[in-house]
Structure 1
Amino acid sequence: MLVVTNLDDPTADFVIAELHDRGVPVVRFDSGDFPATLSCSASIGGTDRWRGSVRTPSRRAELGSVRALYYRRPSGFALPHLDRQDERFAVAQARYGMGGILASLPGCLYVNHPNRIGDAEYKPAGLAAAAAAGFTLPPTLITNVPDDARAFTKEHSSVIFKPISVPLYLVDGKAQTVAVAEVNAEEIDDSVTGTMHLFQKRVEKTADVRVTVIGERIFAVRIDSGLLDWRTDYGTHRYTPVDAPPAVERAMRAYLSHFGLVFGAFDFALTDSGEWIFIECNPSGQWAWMEPPTGLPMTGALADLLEGGLRDR
């Protein structure tokens, strides 16, 4: 089994420890370690499987033997010792070479497939898929036109702004969370023209719900925080396991099927009337921090899914 993620990923740590306890052989690496401490060599022809291996300083994974790949949050290829043009060229070779090999292992269970993750990480595609699946969505505008943004904020009594994508953003060397924030028409200026922005009608909510779908299993947790964006402060949250309504469960299944995912971390806003409003689905979302306060066996469920890939292939 391969686990592809960065070195600072406690969620993957829990799953690997569980698999180790079960005697499952695991090779973990970060694509960002290529080529310094990570290498790959593969050939094909006369068979439908890649022959070769991926090697770290301490482990070697034979590609023809890989039956499950847990793709989390690798740091990505980077070769900063090269000048910008050469780095751009070399990174493309690594991405489409090594990345392409890892994405084309016959008979391998992907959780999730990196290409399917890439598709699902486009927030506009996720919103369109959510609407088609039957979720209720808040009115949303994606634009770089200031007048359109001002008109949208005036049309709706309360509007929030949030990033469409969240790459690593450092302040004084520390990674930052770009928080959801309220915005009004007077705050919108011509700097909006510089890139695309997402504006959304604020949902009047009583709580949030994070639903983690792992294969056939669904783990829904109500999060009471009193915050507009519960990610900004975890200190006062209260976590309560809940059941997802049947209509929401059907819509989640349809959404995951649309993107070809076997794992998804869904976020909902829960209204006073009990309606679940779709916010987003992260195909590589975090979940392990909710396990201790709820007792939900999510680590075991993820290990079951991955181990099942070994048995079934």
Structure 2
Amino acid sequence: MTLPPTVLVVAAPSDLSADLVVRHLSEHANVHRVDPNDLVKPGVLRMTGHADDKPLRFELADEHRTTLSSAIVSVWWWHPDPPDGWAQAESRAVLEGLLYGLEGVLWVNHPSRAAAARSGPTQLNRAANLGFRIPDTIYTNDPREAVNFALDHGGEAVCKTLLGHSERFVPARVVTVEEIEAERESIRKAMHYFQQPVQKVYDVRLTVVGDRLFPCKVSSRGGDLDWRAVPEEELSFEPISISLPLAQKVRKLMGLLGLEYGALDFAVDAAGTWWYLETNPSGQFGFVESTTGMVISRAIADHLVQSAMANRVFTPDGGHKASSGPRKPRKAL
């Protein structure tokens, strides 16, 4: 029996962005969407894996379909809900371990690569080495260094976080020397992330899918520092062009970070300089697609199918294996 090439989608059941991509995927490939937390619900999602002297293999089954590991050509790991309790955490660990054992499979993005790429200092260092414009940045738990940094930049600094807060969204904000002085004890208790303020005129959210770039200009009525904290009705989104040299640097950065997908944020000043701020390996794209019409969800679906199958051969038993040849290089713009 021939095994159909299958794209495995790991996502929360109520994720609208996942719905968009799955809809496009279903037009061209066999799709199996799973919620890892269903593994602890009797009979909802069944998984059996084998580890012996043969290659690692497993089977996933629910009321809709059964998927053998040898049929999986790509995995889209997209915001699955975090495990709640030991049983879900243990089940998630087994699922991840079996999936990580797959060879020749395209991940968008592989969780371990996404976790490594999320590091702010790593991103800024690699971006700087590629020639991106980077705002002056320090990481410190020394209030004297924080004060001196703000003084070097006109008495103000942007205070940011590297990790999302478990209970609330923490936007970036401008702090003054006086505010830093008043929070000396708090600064001593944790590392803080300060950055040079950029006198921006607008922001850019650049969504990258494989070789394809989707730059979106983001403007707020009040020129807010962190547009993510602004109500959507007070923002405007529109497609914008990106220069060839910058596009080439973006693709190189994605390669260095090991990412197939990323949402990059830039602040653009009055001179037209794009200041690189960060790359989110799992940044949302639905709001960009819905407001601009850019077909990001279709690009993700195409990448999961076309790029995954580009270097695969079909085996006599109906399985699909990666070819021994190298992956095709990323295309130039």
TM superposition score normalised by structure 2: 0.82
User: C-alpha displacement at 1:91, in angstroms?
Assistant: 7.0
Cα contact 2:36–2:92 (8 A) shared by 1: no
User: C-alpha displacement at 1:56, in angstroms?
Assistant: 4.2
Residue by residue over 1:81-116, the C-alpha shift from the partner in whole angstroms, topping out at 9 and shown as x without a partner, is xxxxxx4xx677545432122123112111111111
Larger displacement relative to structure 2 (127-136 or 56-65): 56-65
Residue by residue over 1:250-271, the C-alpha shift from the partner in whole angstroms, topping out at 9 and shown as x without a partner, is 2211111112111111110011
User: C-alpha displacement at 1:24, in angstroms?
Assistant: 2.4
CA distance in 2, matches of 1:205, 1:17: 38
Q: Which residue of 2 aligns with 1:132?
A: 129
Aligned equivalent of 2:34, options 29, 41, 59: 29
Q: Which residue of 1 aligns with 2:12?
A: 6
Residues 1:98 and 2:105 are matched in the alignment: no
Unaligned runs of 5+ in 1: 80-86, 170-175
Larger displacement relative to structure 2 (298-307 or 94-103): 94-103
> Which structure 2 residues correspond to residues 42-57 of structure 1 after superposition, within 5 A?
42-48=49-55, 50-56=56-62
Residue by residue over 1:212-242, the C-alpha shift from the partner in whole angstroms, topping out at 9 and shown as x without a partner, is 1111111111111122111112112222212
Residue by residue over 1:195-218, the C-alpha shift from the partner in whole angstroms, topping out at 9 and shown as x without a partner, is 222111111001101111111111
Q: Which residue of 2 aligns with 1:222?
A: 217
User: C-alpha displacement at 1:9, in angstroms?
Assistant: 1.9
Question: Larger radius of gyration, structure 1 or 2?
Answer: 2
Q: Which residue of 1 aligns with 2:108?
A: 111
> Which structure 2 residues correspond to residues 64-213 of structure 1 after superposition, within 5 A?
64-79=70-85, 87=86, 93-94=90-91, 96-157=93-154, 158-169=156-167, 176-188=168-180, 189=183, 190-213=185-208
Residue by residue over 1:257-310, the C-alpha shift from the partner in whole angstroms, topping out at 9 and shown as x without a partner, is 112111111110011001000010111111121123322221211111112145
- Does the C-alpha gap of structure 1 residues 23 and 249 become closer, same or farther in structure 2, counting only changes over 3 Å? closer
Cα contact 1:208–1:222 (8 A) shared by 2: yes
Cα contact 1:103–1:115 (8 A) shared by 2: no
- Does the C-alpha gap of structure 1 residues 55 and 243 become closer, same or farther in structure 2, counting only changes over 3 Å? same
Instruction: Report the secondary structure of 2:218's partner residue.
Output: strand
CA distance in 1, matches of 2:37, 2:193: 30
CA distance in 2, matches of 1:24, 1:154: 57
CA distance in 2, matches of 1:55, 1:306: 21
CA distance in 2, matches of 1:288, 1:68: 21
- Does the C-alpha gap of structure 1 residues 167 and 56 become closer, same or farther in structure 2, counting only changes over 3 Å? farther
Q: Which residue of 1 aligns with 2:320?
A: none
User: C-alpha displacement at 1:194, in angstroms?
Assistant: 2.3
Residues 1:308 and 2:313 are matched in the alignment: no
CA distance in 1, matches of 2:38, 2:177: 45
Which residue type is aligned with residue 25 of structure 1? N
CA distance in 2, matches of 1:310, 1:242: 29
Cα contact 2:36–2:91 (8 A) shared by 1: no
CA distance in 2, matches of 1:124, 1:288: 27
Q: Which residue of 1 aligns with 2:273?
A: 275
User: C-alpha displacement at 1:156, in angstroms?
Assistant: 1.3
Which residue type is aligned with residue 294 of structure 1? T
CA RMSD of aligned residues (A): 2.0
Which residue type is aligned with residue 191 of structure 2? M
Cα contact 2:204–2:268 (8 A) shared by 1: yes
Unaligned runs of 5+ in 2: 1-6, 313-333
- Percent identity, aligned pairs only, is 32
User: C-alpha displacement at 1:39, in angstroms?
Assistant: 4.4
CA distance in 2, matches of 1:146, 1:39: 53
User: C-alpha displacement at 1:71, in angstroms?
Assistant: 0.9
> Across the two proteins, how many residue pairs are aligned to each other?
296
Cα contact 2:204–2:215 (8 A) shared by 1: yes
Which residue type is aligned with residue 175 of structure 2? V
- Does the C-alpha gap of structure 1 residues 70 and 150 become closer, same or farther in structure 2, counting only changes over 3 Å? same
Q: Which residue of 2 aligns with 1:83?
A: none
Instruction: Report the secondary structure of 2:294's partner residue.
Output: coil
Instruction: Report the secondary structure of 2:306's partner residue.
Output: helix
Residues 1:16 and 2:47 are matched in the alignment: no
